[in-house]
Amino acid sequence: MTGSGAIVAFGAVPLAALICAALIVAIMPLLARYALARPNARSSHKIPTPQGAGIAVIAATLGVAAGAITLVASVPAIPLLLFGATILIAAVGTVDDIRPIPVLPRLLLQAIAVGAVLAALPADLQILPMAPLWIERAGLLVAALWFVNLVNFMDGLDWMTVSELVPITLALVALGVVGALPTDATLIAAALGGAILGFAPFNRPVARVFLGDVGSLPVGLLLGWCLLQLAGNGHLAAAVLLPLYYLADSTLTLVRRIAKREAFWEAHRTHFYQRATDNGFPVLGVVGRVFGLNLLLAALAGVSVAFGSAAIDAAMLLAGGAAVAFVLARFGRPRHQSPAQA
């Protein structure tokens, strides 16, 4: 990325934060009136709380990203299909926040949006050249659909999305500045990270407002697309390391629920971060550990990109996996144990 591009990328962060915060203040009365999230089996909150701040997050992200891409590119190439798919998934999330949509129609609409984005990828963008392209794209469809939903599943605690998205997006910006990520993905990551920072004061425990599905689902699409661009640029290990905590917590929880023959599609409180609060960890203790873990994963991803060898990639993945396993194991045990229990 050029020097001017780096300046625009770093400038996009505070601009998106300010726009997002202003939009949240403006729409808060409407959210309080029409989009209250009432406590359910999945909730960590005890009283009805407005949701839907994702409207501001997505609006600020897309607006700032489009402007930044226009400024930087000699021939602006705004990924309009990605932006359109993001708006579609946000619209589905908006309806679901107000009046829940059945699982199958919701997944179908999400699959249409994700599939359209993947269909528009260049034919020469392949992460695993040894695999037939159609097999890789089919696998990407399933993986992307899962990633969109797991970001939503993990958005169940105040500041949880902030503790995940801020380190990842700022790491993506840093990687883009050194040329490891395409310019458009770098600018989208910068705008998304800034918008999440603008949302953070309102979601600080105890939260005054939640993202809602209107925010968490399209955030998952945008973040997944940026990570796909990183992997397609030859940095698969880094693209796995950055969201590794989210991937591990949500996937292991899903596998465990399926193994127990539970209705895994229904709301629940069995993710590791949710079990941590049930085990006596304060909310800030949980999100603080996740934030610190994500800083470590970002550093490991940076080392992977800097050295770019199979051996280094394997070592960083092992180190990241060990760190994630340690945090998950700690979340799964009571915070205070007697010597006999430890």
- List the domain boundaries for the chain: 3-234
220-267 pLDDT, tens digit each: 999 999 999 999 999 999 999 999 999 999 999 999 999 888 877 777
Residues 6+ away with beta carbon under 8 Å from 222 = 61, 82, 86, 188, 192
pLDDT score at 254? 92
Extract the runs of DSSP E, i.e. beta strands, from the chain. 36-37, 49-50
pTM of the model: 0.93
pLDDT score at 63? 97
pLDDT score at 40? 58
pLDDT score at 13? 98
Cis peptide before 178 (omega within 30 of 0): no
3-state secondary structure 85-148: HHHHHHHHHHHHHHCCCCHHHHHHHHHHHHHHHHHCCCCCCCCCCCCCHHHHHHHHHHHHHHHH
Residues of the chain with pLDDT below 50 are 338-342
pLDDT score at 342? 36
The residue among 217, 172, 190, 162 whose CA lies nearest residue 67 is 190
Q: Is 228 exposed, middle or buried (0-12, 13-18, 19+ CB in 10 A)?
A: buried
Rounded to whole angstroms, how far apart are CA atoms 185 and 205? 31
22-63 pLDDT, tens digit each: 999 999 999 988 877 776 555 555 678 899 999 999 999 999
pLDDT score at 339? 39
